Amino acid sequence: MATATVTSKGQITIPVRVREALGLDAGDRVEFVEFEKGQFAIIPATRSVRELKGLFRDARRKPVTIEEMNAAIARRASESR
């Protein structure tokens, strides 16, 4: 099992074995995803946003306007209070 120590600034060095397994290089970003309370997975965030274009396209759905998006956000925000 690979381990790391948290510095006083909250930083860690990801062990070589883990970096290699995740395909991480210097400057790459990672995401910490909580999959259970108190347990996280480290996910490489190295894909370009451009690679995601069209990935979730659904031909049956009509495009949504900015106004519709803003209204939906406002609606959800008021429900969460």
Task: Give the distance, in angstroms, between the CA of residue 60 and the centroid of all CA atoms in the same chain.
Answer: 27
Strands (E), 1-81: 30-36, 39-44
Phi, psi at 56, each rounded to 5° = -110, 15
CA distance 30 to 12: 12
Tokens encoding 10: 């909250």
pLDDT tens-digit readout, 27-80: 888 988 888 888 888 888 876 666 666 656 666 677 889 999 999 999 988 886
- Among 7, 8, 25, 28, residue whose Cα is nearest residue 16: 25
Tokens encoding 81: 């209070």
